[in-house]
Structure formats: structure tokens, C-alpha cells
Amino acid sequence: MPLTSGGPVAEDVRRRILSMLAQGTLRPGSRLGTEREMAEEFAVSRSTLRSALLPLSQAGVLERRTGRNGGTFVRADVVERNAAELAGLPARLRSGGHSSATRVLATDRRAATAVEAHALEIDDGAEIFTVRRLRFADGVPLSVDLSCFTAERMDDLLEQPLGGSLYELLRVRYGLTPAVTTETIEVVSASPREAQWLDVAHRKPLLAITRITRDSSGEPFEYACDLFRADRVRLTATSHGAVGAVQRSVSSA
């Protein structure tokens, strides 16, 4: 990054932004503001501000977003996730060096729809629990998850703390451990509500991962649909064949 790009005033702005990052005042996903707001905050002209921000954008420190909620943001790291993995998301984030947090958006006890009943291999209209949660990585929204569970196998689920790993809760309290997971992955557009939750533009591409999780006896106990921000997750899959292991990566921007 050339120190003289934009002159000493622009260099001073760059150093101030980098200092805020080092001190934790700015974190991954933080919004610095619009061009006009930042020019006023740093008391510089817009042309000087552009000269200050360009090297930071080129270095991958900052990113520009357009639209109503646009502006300049501190770039958030991409999260690596294995396709059809058996570990919960908090464990995956910790192993990748990310912080994690969860906000429970809604819970319900209701009759299963035909699709849910088919996935869980229960009778149409049988009772299920649903848990919808917003997941964060490094303080930035990562995914909205909707999980459906067979009610008769965990009657008091909604009375339990649901902000941590559900798989750990199911293992400890109900003796249910994921043994086989089948996932279907497709690209969908964010609805207005999903866009608000995930802090993205309406119709922004999302990765929709539909999952059926079975226990060691082969009986399904979870049917879920996770919506990931496509700019924040990279899916990897490993196949073991006669020639050896072959890795495939899928990433979207």
C-alpha cells in the first residue's frame, strides 16, 4: 500500500482508520458511513477521502456497498463450512477462529406440514417444534436458520436454552446425536424480511441449505432450512474415491 497515495492528508485518514481497527473501535462488518458522512467526520474533501479509502479497498480491508443501506464497511471474513457436516455452526465458527452469537427470533409448537412430515417420516399433522434463529459470525449476520423437530422425542425442548448449540442440547438432554446428514443446496433471493435480518439488499442471493439429520438408528429427528449470506460463506466438500481424496469448493459473491 503506497504511503504517498493521495498525499499526507489521505495517509493520515488511512492511519486513523487502521488505528481504529487495531483498537477494536471498528470491527468486521462495521459501517463507516457514506462518502459524505466520512468526509465530514475526518474533515477532508471527498476527493481526499476517496484517495484514502482506495488502497484500503484494494487491500481487502474495506468494501463498498450500494443501495439504501449502503456505504463503506469493514470487510468481514468468509466462513468456511463443510457440506453435510455433522458439527453445529458454533463449533465450526470456533474452529475457524471466528466468534459466534445467536439470537432466537421465534419458536412454535404446531402441526407439521406435508413437506415437514415427509422429511421427518411422521404422520401429516403430527406435532413438531420449530426454532428460528439469527446467527452471527464476528458480530455480523451470517444466516437465518429454521429447524423443525419431532415433538414426541423432545417434549420440553422449547423450555430449554436455545441460544447455544442445539446439537449439543439434543445430545445431552435427549441422547440424540447426528449420525447422517443429507443436504440440498440452492441459490435463492432474499425476501424483504430475510434481507432485514441479514442486513443485505432485497433480492440479494442467499445460499439455501435444506437439511435432514438422522440419529444412529437412521431415524430423522431434524428437518431444517438455513439461509446463508452468499458473500460470507464458502462451502467445501470432500469425496473419497479409489484415486484418493478430491476437494471441491463452492463460493459465491
Q: Which residues contact 22 (CB under 8 A, 6 or more apart)?
A: none
Q: Helix or strand or coil: residue 89?
A: helix
Q: Please report the pLDDT score of residue 159 as a whole number.
A: 95
% of the chain surpassing 90 pLDDT: 43
Over 80: is that where the pLDDT of 132 sits? Answer: yes
Q: What is the structure's pLDDT at 239?
A: 59
154-200 per-position pLDDT tens digit: 999 999 999 988 999 999 999 999 999 998 888 899 999 999 999 88
The strand pairing partners of 149, in sequence order, are: 129, 222
pLDDT for residue 200 = 86
Question: DSSP label at 160?
Answer: S
Domains defined along the chain, listed by start: 8-74 (1.10.10.10), 79-236 (3.40.1410.10)
Q: Are strands 71-74 and 127-137 parallel, antiparallel or unpaired?
A: unpaired
The mean pLDDT value of the chain amounts to 83
- pTM for this model (two decimals): 0.66
Gap between the terminal Cα atoms of the chain: 24
Residue environment code for 128-157, b if the CB has 16+ CB neighbours within 10 A, otherwise e: bbbbbbbbbbbebbbbbbbbbbbbebbeeb
Give pLDDT tens digits for 17-69: 887 876 777 777 788 888 888 899 999 999 999 988 888 887 667 888 777 77
d(CA 79, CA 146): 19
- Return the pLDDT at 226: 93
What is the phi-psi region of residue 29: left when phi exceeds 0, alpha when psi lies from -120 to 50, beta otherwise?
A: left
Q: Classify residue 157 as left (phi > 0), alpha (psi -120 to 50) or beta.
A: alpha
d(C-alpha 181, C-alpha 200), whole Å: 29
